[in-house]
C-alpha cells in the first residue's frame, strides 16, 4: 500500500510530491515521459519564468472566481519564494519577472527533481497510467503495474503543448469520477483574424493597446508589443486576451479587437491624433504625411494605414481634408479587426476551463471522491503571461501535498 500516488511529474506534480513526502512514508510519482518537468524546459523561452513579484487577483481567471482568493494569497505567495530559495534557486528579477539566475529552465527542473529524491519520493518514469479505480482504496493501472493507495494527486496537465505529454487524460478521469469539466479551450495563444491585408503587415511589431469587444461590448484590454502576422495577431498582450476570445467563440459570440498603435503617445482617438499631428507638423517643417509618421511607426504599417485611408504618401498634412485626417486617426488609434479563431492547443501555453472549483475543497481535495486531489492546469484556473500559471501550479501542489497526512 502506497500512502500517496502523484500522477504527472510536471510543475504541480513535482512540488506536490515533495510536500506529500513531508507527512507520508511512501510517495510514488508516476510520469509517462522519460524525464520529469518536460514542459518546464520550454517556459520563458527556455529560461523558466517561475514567479512574478506583481501579484494581483486580476491576473488570474476562472469560471468560479470566488475561489481564487483562497489560493492567491500572501501566505502561499511568500511560501513559493521561500521554497525555491531553500532548494537553491537564486532569482534574477526583471520587471517583476522571476527567472533562475542561470537563465536556464534546467536549473528549476534539476532542483525540483533533486529535492523530490532527497525527500524520499519514488519516481517511476516512462510508465503511462491507463486507468484509475476507487473502491475502499484507489487502484492505479499502468501499462505494466497495478498500484494501490489511499490518496491520489492528479497533476496530469491540460491539453496545452501536447508534445510534452499533455493529452487531457486527467479530464477523462475526473469525468469518470463525476466531476464537471468547464470547456477546455486554448489560452495564452495567438489569434486568427478575418482581414484582407494580413500579408501586407506580416512581420511588423508595435507597442500598442488592445481592446477586446464581445458582441460589441468591451470586455478586456491589455498593453504591450503586438506581433502582426499573416494569420492575425500575436504577442503577450494578445495572449492575455485570448482565453476570453476562446470562450466567446466557443459560445458563438462575435469577437473583435481594436488596436491603438499610438497608445504610447497617450492618443486615444482621432481628435487627439489631429491635435498631436498639428503640433508635429508645425515643429517638423516641409515633411509629407509619410515622413511625419515614418519616424513613429514601421514604414510598412504607415504605407498600409495611408492606403486604407485613401491618402497618397507624398501628400502634406496641411493639404488633407478634415475628413481624411479623422479617417487616418481612427485607423491609427482604433484599428478594428474581426477575430475568427485561435491557434490550436499545440501552440497555446495553457488552457481556459477545467474541473469546476465548486467541486474542489480549499485543500484541493475533491468534494465528490475522498482522497482524490487535483492540482495545476486541470483546475479551472489560468493566469496571464508572466509566471502566473506556474504560480498556480506551485501553490495548488503545495496545498494538495501538504494536506495529506
Q: What is the mean pLDDT of each run of 10 residues along the chain (405 residues)?
A: 97 98 95 94 91 96 96 97 97 96 96 98 97 96 96 95 84 97 97 93 97 98 97 97 98 98 97 97 94 94 97 96 98 98 95 97 98 98 97 98 95
Q: Find out whether 191 and 215 touch, Cβ atoms under 8 Å.
A: no
- Residue ranges of domains in the chain: 2-186+349-403, 190-342
Q: What's the burial of 198, exposed, middle or buried (CB within 10 Å: 0-12/13-18/19+)?
A: middle
- Provide the pLDDT for residue 213: 98
- Provide the pLDDT for residue 401: 98
Task: Work out whether the CA dihedral 156, 160, 165, 167 comes out positive or negative.
Answer: positive
**In this structure, what C-alpha cell is assigned to residue 276?**
498631436
Q: How far is CA 37 from CA 31, 128, 262, 322, in A?
A: 9, 15, 41, 59
- Provide the pLDDT for residue 45: 85
Select from 230, 227, 284 the least CA-distant residue to 293: 284
Architecture of domain 2-186+349-403 in this structure: 3-Layer(bba) Sandwich (3.50)
* Distance (Å, whole) CA 284 – CA 277: 10
* Distance (Å, whole) CA 317 – CA 334: 20
Phi, psi values for residue 258, rounded to 5°: -100, 130
* Distance (Å, whole) CA 213 – CA 112: 41
- Provide the pLDDT for residue 144: 92
Amino acid at each position: 500500500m502506497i500512502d500517496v500516488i502523484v500522477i504527472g511529474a510536471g510543475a504541480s506534480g513535482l512540488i506536490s510530491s515533495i510536500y506529500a513526502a513531508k507527512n507520508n512514508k511512501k510517495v510514488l510519482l508516476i510520469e509517462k515521459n522519460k524525464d520529469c518537468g518536460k514542459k518546464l524546459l520550454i517556459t520563458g523561452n527556455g529560461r523558466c519564468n517561475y514567479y512574478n513579484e506583481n501579484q494581483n487577483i486580476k491576473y488570474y481567471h476562472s469560471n468560479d472566481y470566488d475561489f481564487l482568493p483562497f489560493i492567491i494569497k500572501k501566505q502561499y505567495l511568500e511560501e513559493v519564494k521561500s521554497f525555491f530559495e531553500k532548494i537553491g534557486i537564486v532569482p534574477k528579477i526583471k520587471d517583476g519577472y522571476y527567472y533562475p539566475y542561470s537563465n536556464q529552465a534546467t536549473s528549476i527542473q534539476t532542483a525540483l527533481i533533486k529535492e523530490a529524491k532527497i525527500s524520499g519520493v519514488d519516481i517511476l518514469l516512462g510508465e503511462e497510467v491507463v486507468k484509475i479505480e476507487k473502491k475502499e482504496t484507489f487502484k492505479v493501472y499502468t501499462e505494466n503495474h497495478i498500484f494501490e493507495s489511499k490518496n491520489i494527486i492528479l497533476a496530469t496537465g491540460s491539453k496545452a503543448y501536447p508534445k510534452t505529454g499533455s493529452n487531457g487524460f486527467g479530464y477523462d478521469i475526473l469525468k469518470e469520477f463525476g466531476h464537471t469539466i468547464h470547456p477546455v479551450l486554448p489560452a495564452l495563444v495567438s489569434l486568427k483574424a478575418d482581414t484582407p491585408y494580413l500579408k501586407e503587415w506580416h512581420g511588423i511589431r508595435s507597442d500598442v493597446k488592445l481592446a477586446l469587444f464581445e458582441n460589441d461590448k468591451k470586455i478586456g484590454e491589455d498593453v504591450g508589443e503586438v506581433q502582426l502576422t499573416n494569420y492575425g495577431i500575436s504577442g503577450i498582450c494578445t495572449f492575455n486576451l485570448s482565453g476570453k476570445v476562446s470562450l466567446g467563440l466557443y459560445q458563438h459570440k462575435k469577437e473583435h479587437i481594436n488596436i491603438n498603435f499610438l497608445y504610447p503617445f497617450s492618443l486615444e482617438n482621432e481628435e487627439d491624433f489631429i491635435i498631436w499631428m498639428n503640433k508635429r507638423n508645425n515643429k517638423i517643417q516641409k515633411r509629407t504625411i509619410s515622413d511625419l509618421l515614418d519616424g513613429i511607426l514601421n514604414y510598412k504599417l504607415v504605407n498600409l494605414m495611408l492606403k486604407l485611408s485613401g491618402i497618397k504618401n507624398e501628400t502634406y498634412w496641411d493639404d488633407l481634408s478634415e475628413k481624411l485626417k479623422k479617417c487616418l486617426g481612427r485607423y491609427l488609434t482604433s484599428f478594428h479587426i474581426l477575430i475568427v479563431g485561435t491557434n490550436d492547443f499545440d501552440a497555446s501555453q495553457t488552457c481556459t476551463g477545467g474541473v469546476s472549483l465548486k467541486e474542489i475543497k480549499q485543500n484541493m481535495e475533491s468534494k465528490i471522491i475522498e482522497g482524490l486531489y487535483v492540482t495545476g492546469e486541470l483546475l479551472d484556473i489560468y493566469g496571464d503571461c508572466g509566471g502566473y500559471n506556474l504560480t498556480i501550479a506551485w501553490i495548488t501542489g503545495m496545498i494538495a501535498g501538504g494536506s495529506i497526512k
